[in-house]
Structure 1
Amino acid sequence: MYLWRRKWTLLPVIFGTFMILPGVGQADVPADGSGSTVSETADGSTRQPDAPATEEPAATEPEKPQSRPRQKKPPFFEVHGFLQNNSSQRIVTSSQFPAELLKLENRAQLELIHAGTKWGWHSKTDFIWDPDNRYSRVDSREAYLTSRSSRLDLSLGQQIITWGVGDLLFLTDVFPKDWVAFITGAPIEYLKKGSIAAKADYYVGGTTIEGIWIPVFEPDTLPSGNKLAFFSPFPPGTPVQKVDPPTTFGNSQFGLRASRMIRDYDTSFYLYSGWDPRPSPNLTSSTLEHHHLLMPGLSFQGPFRGTLLSGEFAYYQTEDSPGTNLAIPNPSLRWLLGLERTLPGNRVVSFQFFQEFMTNYGAYIASLPPGSPRQPRLDTILTVRYRDTLRGETVKRTIFALYGPSERDYFINAEWRQDLTDTVWYALGVNLFGGRAWTTYGQFEKDSNLYVTVRRGF
């Protein structure tokens, strides 16, 4: 268990709300619609007190036909968005990582949606201000055009692409992710990053065929610098250079997915040819390099004896087929089984069993320098998630636990989220990491944190 060593030194919530001004009421309009005040005489008749006197009764004007009320044209863009503060505090500090505050981030998002009959537009732009580090930036999360027909949907631009059925375990989903946001307690939607891509979905005979072309490579965002703790195989003080693939057509990424219902199961087949979004360290050149990856895979999801059964398989064919180059990951087989069950009282519990098998393991071991940490030949990960709702589904509680018996590392997330109004919610949570310093989750043990998020939508 973790203990508090220091008190909070900064209130991590900076949040503003919009004040809605009431509209000014209009004066009452008389029943005759004339806009003037009607008064009553002593004999009970009515007259217009301000009407000019005339010697002869005025001629009756012909009644004008009433025009139909004009229907208000819908706006070209639907406008949505939110204001958000997301802060996280390190639980345990040390002399090496003395910073208690991991994040203090204010964010305003503007979402524009146009859904036309032939084409559409969808964009999400975040305006970010970090008062702790004193910087601001603009992040275009999504910005893409769409075109829809009875058989073909097209989308072109910055878009978030997701494959697979895993819960925080990614096999066929080889598209970029932001692991810094994940570690520091950002809302889970910020784990995924956008890619500049052209995507086509073709519907034929109950099958959906999805084709993806990504001309510009987007890597994973990984911890760097001195604020977050993470494992580096390089000697301390070594300047490390990140090397991304050049932007050429030959370095484009291509994806193909075919999906259809097979009996009661939503089944998909995948093929990806491109680059591994996670770089590999090259100790000789002191660089972090991305390598070519070919990935076929499949997934399924459907009912099984009162539960939801999920499965996924992927084969990672890397550039190092013999397994003798430590700068390139060995080829591997990966598979996952998941089971989810809904319990009485709005409670849901789910389990996952994941394994990764490294091929040519003997060549990998023979290439390791003496004393270097080694990866297991068969890496196993177990996860469990529990979630429920309270108070008319305005409160959502979640606990997610991951344990790797092969590397003996773990990750635990617990979160309480409550809707205060239809547009305002807050979340309080904790991220706990543990294990040996070179393992996947153990390297972030000193980054364990408490986080809070407050959001007002519009």
Structure 2
Amino acid sequence: MAVNASPLQDRLYDKYGVDLNGFIEGRQGWRLRDDPYEKDSSISEMRMQLDVSKDADWGVIKLKGDLVGDQVEEKAYAELRELNFAFSPLDFMDLKIGRQTLTWGTGDLLFINDLFPKDWQSFFIGRDDEYLKAPSDAIKGSLFFDLFDIDLIYSPVFNASRYVDGTRLSYWNSMLGRRAGQDFIFTDHERNSYFKDSEFAARVSKNITGIELGLYGYSGFWKTPEGLDSKEAKLWYPRLSAYGASARGALWGGIGNLEIGYYDSRDDRDGDDALVRNSEIRTLAGFERELASDFTGGFQYYQEWMQKYDSYKSTLPAGTAPKDEVRHVFTLRLTKLLMNQNLRLSLFTYYSPSDQDGYIRPKIHYKVTDQWAMEVGANIFAGKDDYTFFGQFQDNTNAHAGVRWSF
């Protein structure tokens, strides 16, 4: 039940065993730089979320959805974020069937073996961090044994990430050789054939003397469209298999983590198709600990190592700037709690010495009461070149503010 539940919430729970929670929120964001390809407002919306669940004798039914009035896109819409049924058919098995939010791996806002859909557009315009994780339509089974646990996830149809396509954020357009936005909104060839365009993910995990170990496998497609159909000027989703491992445990008074993954780009294994992303080896090392009372810090080093690099360079069109064979990224997170932990100051930064670009996310969150909260933050992009990952978003730098009433 929610804190300070209303009479309606009490009646629903007492009579029907239904938990009802949610919030109403307003957010406004402003661009801090002129962008000729996008509107001045980065975000301007009212949102209501309802989160309903019922714990029945046989399992749990959950429904979570949002109603949104979006002034930037000048439309109102509903978004179903969760609708699933969770139950335990056997003592050693849990099943969850339906729309759900999936996650695993050890990274902090860096993802290797977490090949579940993300919403990068929401992340960069200033929505709550919850909206970085996009929902999946899937069946998840968890098996619990003495030696190890197994998670198996099957999606009958591909769940793509929501990528930057020009509708809300400008980006580097390789076909035009310049930045673009609403003047060139990329579309893609959807992977929407049930059972043909399906995905499968698996994890085997084990805790050994406080160290969490994991092995991962994935078969499906790149989550963002890493292929280009130059004839139709459309993006497409090449086939992808991924294999990885992770470890997480206590280290030097804090928590350390390691993660590695091999991305097998099955439509470009030779690396000689300039319009399809090459296979990669991705690695991550991180450490976080309390630096002082109510003050924590975290550091990560992340690497993408492109395979078949010589083949990639040999197929590039003349005049195209090649990517680095190895892309390096460092992140830093600092969090300070004040005023009986009702005020949270946070800073998250990305910096890539290979791309010579970066991204800064400062945020202040103040919990006024159990129901009311306010937040201000920013998304600050910088880079030497317009074609690097963070550098392409420089003109999307924005500040945002929000007020939320929870019930």
State the TM-score, normalizing by the size of structure 2.
0.91
**Residue aligning to 1:440:** 389
Displacement of 1:123 in angstroms is 1.5
Report matched runs for 1:246-285 at 5 Å.
246-280=192-226, 281-285=228-232
Displacement of 1:233 in angstroms is 1.2
1:406 equivalent in alignment to 2:354: yes
Match of 1:232 among 160, 173, 176: 173
Q: Deviations over 1:265-320 (max 9, x none)?
A: 11111100011111022334421000111001111111012121011100000121
Report matched runs for 1:27-176 at 5 Å.
73-94=14-35, 96-97=36-37, 99-148=39-88, 149-176=90-117
**Residue aligning to 2:3:** none
For the aligned residue pairs, the C-alpha RMSD in angstroms reads: 1.8
Asked if 2 retains the 8 angstrom alpha-carbon contact of 1:86 and 1:106, the reply is yes
**Residue aligning to 1:202:** 143
Separation of aligned partners in 2, 1:119 and 1:241? 40
Asked if 1 retains the 8 angstrom alpha-carbon contact of 2:249 and 2:257, the reply is yes
| C-alpha spacing 1:360/1:231, structure 2 compared with 1 (3 Å) | same
Displacement of 1:132 in angstroms is 4.4
Q: Deviations over 1:40-79 (max 9, x none)?
A: xxxxxxxxxxxxxxxxxxxxxxxxxxxxxxxx94533111
Displacement of 1:437 in angstroms is 1.0
Separation of aligned partners in 1, 2:184 and 2:372? 46
Separation of aligned partners in 2, 1:177 and 1:226? 17
- For structure 2, the 5+ residue unaligned runs are 1-5, 8-12
Separation of aligned partners in 2, 1:331 and 1:444? 25
Moved more, 218-227 or 115-124: 218-227
Match of 1:453 among 387, 402, 406: 402
One-letter identity of the residue aligned with 1:165: T
Separation of aligned partners in 2, 1:239 and 1:351? 35
One-letter identity of the residue aligned with 2:403: V
**Residue aligning to 2:159:** 218
Q: Deviations over 1:370-393 (max 9, x none)?
A: 111211101100011100100000
Question: SS at the partner of 2:57?
Answer: coil
Displacement of 1:234 in angstroms is 1.8
Displacement of 1:251 in angstroms is 2.0
One-letter identity of the residue aligned with 1:198: I
State the TM-score, normalizing by the size of structure 1.
0.82
**Residue aligning to 2:190:** 244
One-letter identity of the residue aligned with 1:313: I
One-letter identity of the residue aligned with 1:82: F
One-letter identity of the residue aligned with 1:336: L
Match of 1:374 among 308, 319, 322: 322
**Residue aligning to 1:12:** none
Of the two structures, which has the highest relative contact order with CA contacts closer than 8 Å and spacing of 6 or more?
Answer: 2
Displacement of 1:248 in angstroms is 3.1
Asked if 1 retains the 8 angstrom alpha-carbon contact of 2:157 and 2:196, the reply is no
The structure with the larger Rg is 1
Displacement of 1:246 in angstroms is 3.8
Asked if 1 retains the 8 angstrom alpha-carbon contact of 2:39 and 2:72, the reply is no
**Residue aligning to 2:300:** 352
Separation of aligned partners in 1, 2:184 and 2:311? 28
- Identity of aligned pairs, percent? 28
Asked if 2 retains the 8 angstrom alpha-carbon contact of 1:206 and 1:261, the reply is no
Asked if 2 retains the 8 angstrom alpha-carbon contact of 1:352 and 1:382, the reply is yes
Separation of aligned partners in 2, 1:92 and 1:326? 33
Asked if 2 retains the 8 angstrom alpha-carbon contact of 1:121 and 1:145, the reply is yes
Match of 2:233 among 267, 275, 286: 286
1:430 equivalent in alignment to 2:371: no
Match of 1:337 among 285, 292, 303: 285
Asked if 1 retains the 8 angstrom alpha-carbon contact of 2:165 and 2:187, the reply is no
Separation of aligned partners in 1, 2:185 and 2:60? 46
- For structure 1, the 5+ residue unaligned runs are 1-19, 22-71
Q: Deviations over 1:160-207 (max 9, x none)?
A: 111211111111111111111011011111001101100000111052
**Residue aligning to 1:295:** 242
* Number of residues of Structure 1 aligned to a counterpart in Structure 2: 388
1:322 equivalent in alignment to 2:263: no
One-letter identity of the residue aligned with 2:359: F
Asked if 2 retains the 8 angstrom alpha-carbon contact of 1:147 and 1:153, the reply is yes
Asked if 2 retains the 8 angstrom alpha-carbon contact of 1:97 and 1:226, the reply is no
**Residue aligning to 1:313:** 260
Asked if 1 retains the 8 angstrom alpha-carbon contact of 2:167 and 2:185, the reply is no
Separation of aligned partners in 2, 1:113 and 1:219? 26
| C-alpha spacing 1:226/1:135, structure 2 compared with 1 (3 Å) | closer
Separation of aligned partners in 2, 1:188 and 1:79? 22
Separation of aligned partners in 2, 1:203 and 1:226? 44
| C-alpha spacing 1:300/1:74, structure 2 compared with 1 (3 Å) | farther
Separation of aligned partners in 1, 2:302 and 2:166? 31
Asked if 2 retains the 8 angstrom alpha-carbon contact of 1:429 and 1:450, the reply is yes
Asked if 1 retains the 8 angstrom alpha-carbon contact of 2:124 and 2:379, the reply is yes
Separation of aligned partners in 2, 1:386 and 1:189? 19
Moved more, 247-256 or 446-455: 247-256
Asked if 1 retains the 8 angstrom alpha-carbon contact of 2:271 and 2:312, the reply is yes
Question: SS at the partner of 2:127?
Answer: coil
Separation of aligned partners in 1, 2:279 and 2:168? 33
